[in-house]
Structure 1
Amino acid sequence: SNWMHKRMLGLSVRYAQLPASQRTDAMRQCLYAAQANDAYWHGMFGGLYLPHLRRAIYNNLVELEALLDQCIPRAAWYQEDTDLDGTEEIHLQNGIIQIILKLDGNASICELDAYPLKHNFADTLTRQTEHYYRKIRLNSGANPAHDQSGIASAHDRVSFKHEISHADLEPDLDAQSLFIDRLNGESLHYQLQPSDRKNEIIFQAVASIGLIRKCFQISGNRLRVTYACTNEVVGRMQTEINLAMPSCDGPGGRYVKDHIALSGFGNAVALDDLASLTLEDDTLGGNLSLEISPAAAFHACPHFTVSQSEGGFEKIMQAAKLTLAWPVTTRKQHITLRFDKKR
């Protein structure tokens, strides 16, 4: 929520700096809608844990940014500490898509915007320990009767909308971003490298005695991520891509391969060698296509968090977690995400 809040404040400043003659009703409407407080807190009656509330904020932030860019264009590539946490981020955008990467050594994407779709695909939620987990553990799935006279407060009542296991309460080791890498199960530490091109960001990691080069490139409505390993690197590479899909585990979203729907986003999918896949989402008003060259092992599953609501403790899907794995003998691995708006 800190990231979302600081993004909203940054766009608010940009709007305020515009000459009055350039400010439009559409901009003001987007700004006010992006300031709706519901998604900025976490409590009994919704807030940050409800993906549709955050999505409404980001829909308006992404639309506002596009409107502001039409008046005063931004650089294609720039670096700043957007969320004021002491670690800088790199922004790379071309007016159609934008990627933002935190320079924390992970070389992963913390925001991925498709402007025509008005959507941030990195609007996921990282599972962390919450105070009410203690109540869940104490009651471990049981629904004890309220043994006092009178009506129990919604804050005191213990009830379960869904069955919750101890595994559902385990905190995430990483922020649920896009392109979190492991080599033979170990995380990598990337350093930013210079690049002559304005449409790419290059990182490099030292692995044993070899090097892994990771390049992000945007072109039109495509984001291409390329991994290149030197001959000394051995073993298996894996990357995790956490995607915020608006339909979550509802009926409006599905994985589609060769024009055949495999399953909804709420189910797990495993394929030994995948070259292309489309994530169709009715709520999104468009599709996200994945192209993998050479083909790689693929696994997808829903990522849930546990929150408390009036109806009891519940599991809510926050992201479609895609994992790709390949042997480093491939040397060069390309992963392309393409964003298409429905006509």
Structure 2
Amino acid sequence: MASEKMTLLLVLHAHQPVGNFDHVMHYAYETCYEPVVKTLEQYPEFRCGLHYSGPLLNWLKQNQPGYLEQVAKLSQKGQVEILTGGYYEPLLASIPKRDARAQIVKQSGFTRETFGKKPTGLWLAERIWEPGMPAKIGGLDLAYTLVDDTHLYYAGLGPEAMFGYHLTEREGFGLGVFPTHKELRYSIPFKDPSETLDFLKRVLDSKGPTCATYGDDMEKFGLWPDTWDWVFKRGWLKRFIEAALEASDWLSLGHCGQWASENPPEGRIYLPTAAYEEMLTWALPSRTAVKMEALTKELKQKGEFEEMRPFLRGGIWDNFLVKYRESNLMHKRMLFVSQKLANMDAPELALDHLYQSQCNCAYWHGLFGGLYLAHLRAAVHEHLIKADTLADKALHGKADWAECRALDLDLDGREEVVLAGPHLDAVIHPSYGGSVSVLDLRPQAFNLGLGLTRRHEAYHELLTMTGDEGDSEGEVQSIHDRVVFKEENLEKHLIYDWYERAMFQDHILPEGTGLRDMPGLGFREWGDFVNQPYEILEKGQAKERAWLRLLRKGGIYSDGGNWPLNVEKGFSLGPGALFSVDYIATAPDKGRPGVMFAVEINFSLLAASDPGKHILLPGKEKMGLESPWEKGLVSSLDLVNEADGFVVRLSLNPPALLWCYPVETVSQSESGLERTYQGSSLNLVWPFAANREKLSAGIDLEVL
């Protein structure tokens, strides 16, 4: 043993997602990143580890290069140890091995060049571990990573094993794993420094010399709600550092890399697929997560939780890909683009866009906004579009082209059809109402189909509960413990869709249905087309055009009886930036009731309140996206996005009634529960009178 003291290994992880707003980055820098490093500079004897994700490093390099020089000085004099990771903060377990290794190589190279030292430790994003991880990253000269103590509990170990480090391997590639102790995660920086030091002293007295590891978000130190006042204004960070240094007779401050090089592992271990405890609960289906949280609470109240902890676990991160169709679609498109680039001599810029699309934040949802933040989803699609477009330019050159490809893109066992050209591409799901989940404007790198389905979340149960939100003896609460409602009566906005929202979804509605019935799902669906399969009649491509024709032999299911209804639906992409959809609805039986044929287009321009993002009707009538509205018999309309520099014109033949309303979710972020705009539902409505056998309608969508 290199030391007879207790050693605290403290690692701070700083991250901002790809696509985050510049003003958020500035605020995070001023309230967290800058004051943390300035404080470390004042205490050169205080040693710790630091990790910065690539999106944040890129921003710092452009906006605050002096900050990187400050961190480099701390690194070069040995005060801080810099960890590597996947450059754009991917979940290494969820991306192809080739991409995972390339991202680590990119960050390790940046670390050597910028901070002057070769990293030996890996920051594992969200501590998401898979047993094959050592082989996946093997041969990259990495000695250790940090996991959660949860991982060790799930391997069957007890509380006494949550210190030191263990050694694991796969295919002969070894890797040290340091468990981050939950006691430290929940006390730093939320409890008085004395409580953390008392815990460490008790460990030393009971176990003898060993190390305890803390690895968590730097954002807890000033950026999380209420923490700036606590950490800096009220001096928690300085008090903590000074208390730790004053305890130097029994406490030392170290680096994980040095500890691993000077001390043997506690033993060999093989960890199951795992992440931190909260993540595994968030990944569960929402109703199951409610039960999980209730059981956990009951066991804690009975004092039985710690004993049962190794046997109590939630899902795995991959469950998010089942829980959220939007997440799975991004993930499977990412895999598709990754393989496409792997099969060619890919341009470096295309690879970089691919890696940016792998930033994990938009793929899941828990305590933070994540998937529910449309601008983060948009960033993933933006970089996928750019990577895919660069690949296609390399393959096709400057010539115009069009492609129709049938494949199981989202890996649900059902075939999708992708229509693509240099200006647009669309992902069509014949098995799900012949709907369109993706409509990319390729030159603008914008997915117009960027909406989100309204779903039940476990934390919605909080809207029917009350609790104490106050501080405990003046200390700041962890955001895991805070319950904040950012507006009153949020429970009135809980609406759960019965179908997955997409573009070009076909409703059969009773006559008399109006806009008032749509946002709250008060309408009666008389058709079986929205989420049911269409058969493929024809598909193909020729020169600058690709097409697909579908048919569903469905019905009208009214109060007075059932009648057959066949809907033929055609898609055509090209030439140029033109995407056309045409319908032929045929109801051969007489005596049926009159209905309304409504085509729902869920789209997003990313902001409802921005006056530069609106719908422009004939006569220059500007319609906003914040509130529901309707118009009668419109022949064309423009979707205007001034910020991103495009206008999309929809030409309707025959003219249609328009119903438009915002789609909002009640979602959770670190600051509390709030309504969040996800997109807009635009409904094009044609009457289909009882005495008509056939209805034909067409929609031409063109990027101007």
TM-score by length of 2: 0.45
Contact kept in structure 1, 2:608 and 2:626, CA below 8 Å:
yes
User: Who is 2:703 aligned against?
Assistant: 339
Q: 2:567 aligns with which of 212, 215, 219?
A: 212
User: Who is 2:420 aligned against?
Assistant: 93
User: Who is 1:7 aligned against?
Assistant: 333
The 5 A counterparts of 1:268-283 are 268-283=628-643
Name the CA distance, whole Å, in 1 between partners of 2:603 and 2:374.
12
Q: 2:686 aligns with which of 326, 334, 340?
A: 326
Name the CA distance, whole Å, in 2 between partners of 1:192 and 1:30.
35
Name the CA distance, whole Å, in 2 between partners of 1:83 and 1:197.
21
| Residue-by-residue CA offset, 1:316-342 (whole Å, 9 max, x unaligned) | 1111110111122472111121123xx
Contact kept in structure 2, 1:247 and 1:283, CA below 8 Å:
no
Contact kept in structure 2, 1:297 and 1:324, CA below 8 Å:
yes
Name the CA distance, whole Å, in 1 between partners of 2:444 and 2:696.
31
Which secondary structure state, in structure 1, belongs to the residue aligned with residue 485 of structure 2? Answer: coil
User: Who is 1:224 aligned against?
Assistant: 580
Name the CA distance, whole Å, in 2 between partners of 1:252 and 1:310.
29
Partner amino acid, structure 1, of 2:552: A
Name the CA distance, whole Å, in 1 between partners of 2:536 and 2:431.
14
Contact kept in structure 2, 1:254 and 1:261, CA below 8 Å:
no
Change (3 A) 1:111 1:169: same
In the alignment, is residue 146 of structure 1 matched against residue 510 of structure 2?
A: no
Change (3 A) 1:313 1:210: closer
Partner amino acid, structure 1, of 2:581: V
Contact kept in structure 1, 2:581 and 2:700, CA below 8 Å:
yes
Change (3 A) 1:325 1:77: same
Change (3 A) 1:261 1:163: farther
User: Who is 1:44 aligned against?
Assistant: 367
Name the CA distance, whole Å, in 2 between partners of 1:320 and 1:5.
23
User: Who is 2:644 aligned against?
Assistant: 284
User: Who is 2:550 aligned against?
Assistant: 203
Partner amino acid, structure 2, of 1:113: D
Change (3 A) 1:175 1:26: same
* Higher Cα radius of gyration: 2
The 5 A counterparts of 1:70-109 are 70-73=393-396, 76-109=403-436
Name the CA distance, whole Å, in 2 between partners of 1:62 and 1:164.
39
Change (3 A) 1:48 1:105: closer
The 5 A counterparts of 1:152-301 are 152-184=477-509, 185-186=525-526, 187-188=528-529, 189-195=532-538, 197-198=540-541, 199-206=546-553, 207=555, 208-219=563-574, 220-230=576-586, 232=588, 235-258=595-618, 260-301=620-661
Range 326-335 or range 83-92, more displaced: 326-335
Partner amino acid, structure 2, of 1:222: L
Range 10-19 or range 296-305, more displaced: 10-19
Partner amino acid, structure 2, of 1:106: G
Which secondary structure state, in structure 2, belongs to the residue aligned with residue 85 of structure 1? Answer: coil
Higher strand share: 1
Name the CA distance, whole Å, in 1 between partners of 2:489 and 2:424.
37
Which secondary structure state, in structure 2, belongs to the residue aligned with residue 8 of structure 1? Answer: helix
Contact kept in structure 2, 1:296 and 1:324, CA below 8 Å:
yes
Name the CA distance, whole Å, in 2 between partners of 1:35 and 1:44.
20
Partner amino acid, structure 1, of 2:564: I
Name the CA distance, whole Å, in 2 between partners of 1:230 and 1:98.
29
Q: Residue 227 of structure 1: CA displacement?
A: 1.0
Higher helix share: 2
Pairs aligned (count): 334
Q: Residue 72 of structure 1: CA displacement?
A: 2.7
Q: Residue 134 of structure 1: CA displacement?
A: 0.6
Name the CA distance, whole Å, in 2 between partners of 1:275 and 1:222.
17
Partner amino acid, structure 2, of 1:63: K
| Residue-by-residue CA offset, 1:263-319 (whole Å, 9 max, x unaligned) | 321122200211111111122210111111111111111101121122211111111
Contact kept in structure 1, 2:436 and 2:503, CA below 8 Å:
yes
Q: Residue 261 of structure 1: CA displacement?
A: 4.2
Change (3 A) 1:17 1:224: same
Contact kept in structure 2, 1:247 and 1:253, CA below 8 Å:
yes
Contact kept in structure 2, 1:94 and 1:218, CA below 8 Å:
yes
| Residue-by-residue CA offset, 1:141-184 (whole Å, 9 max, x unaligned) | xx965275443321222212234443522221111100111123
Change (3 A) 1:33 1:248: farther
Range 122-131 or range 186-195, more displaced: 186-195
Change (3 A) 1:308 1:105: closer
Q: Residue 127 of structure 1: CA displacement?
A: 1.5
Partner amino acid, structure 1, of 2:367: M
Change (3 A) 1:221 1:145: same
Q: 2:676 aligns with which of 307, 316, 319?
A: 316
TM-score by length of 1: 0.90
Partner amino acid, structure 2, of 1:279: L
Contact kept in structure 2, 1:246 and 1:281, CA below 8 Å:
no
Q: Which runs of 5+ in 2 are unaligned?
A: 1-326, 510-524, 556-562
Contact kept in structure 1, 2:578 and 2:703, CA below 8 Å:
yes
Partner amino acid, structure 2, of 1:72: L
User: Who is 2:313 aligned against?
Assistant: none
Q: Residue 84 of structure 1: CA displacement?
A: 1.4
Name the CA distance, whole Å, in 1 between partners of 2:672 and 2:332.
31
Name the CA distance, whole Å, in 1 between partners of 2:488 and 2:448.
28
Partner amino acid, structure 1, of 2:598: Q
User: Who is 2:388 aligned against?
Assistant: 65
Contact kept in structure 2, 1:247 and 1:281, CA below 8 Å:
no
- Identify which of structures 1 and 2 has the higher relative contact order when contacts are C-alpha pairs closer than 8 Å and 6+ apart: 1
Change (3 A) 1:136 1:235: same
Name the CA distance, whole Å, in 1 between partners of 2:352 and 2:568.
43
Identity %: 30
RMSD across aligned positions (CA): 2.2
Partner amino acid, structure 1, of 2:700: T
Partner amino acid, structure 2, of 1:99: A
Q: Residue 210 of structure 1: CA displacement?
A: 4.1
Contact kept in structure 1, 2:539 and 2:549, CA below 8 Å:
no
